[in-house]
Structure 1
Amino acid sequence: MKEPVLNIAPFYEKHRRIPDTDCTALWTFSIDGRGVSFWGTLAQASSTAALYVHTHDIEDDTLLLTDYNPMPKVLNMGRWEN
């Protein structure tokens, strides 16, 4: 399986900053012209996106990072922490 190329330029152009790659978040990629989101760190989300490209037989192997939404952590008491 050929490893897709990750391109963060669309994210950078929108936010004018590099994303926090260690952040656990819902990462959104433009894959074959569609917005597709995956949960985890950027490395985990990119790996899942690569599998998505492979299993859907998508020829364009460029993953365009468009956005990410950091999610709060759930605490044992049912409260949310950012």
Structure 2
Amino acid sequence: MSDELVAASQRNIFYKFLGVGEGPFDFLRRLDDLRGRPVDNAHFIEPEGVDAIGDQQFFDLLLEEYPQWLIDARNAGLIA
């Protein structure tokens, strides 16, 4: 999976990994911090009490890092 994520970092693809329930989520954390990508194209979150999170807060969590990825992807010529 890590090789695929590195390859996808050269395309206009952003991945969001969401840890829900009991972990461990070490693999997803490693994907979030993976080296060798020209553009950081992945983000992992592990919200506590996901059942108690309101819709807006959940949506905000899902969009974390995406705005920065858009900037970085544009600067790298991955999107217009």
Normalised-by-shorter TM-score class:
under 0.3
More strand per residue: 1
TM-score (norm 1): 0.25
TM-score (norm 2): 0.25
More helix per residue: 2
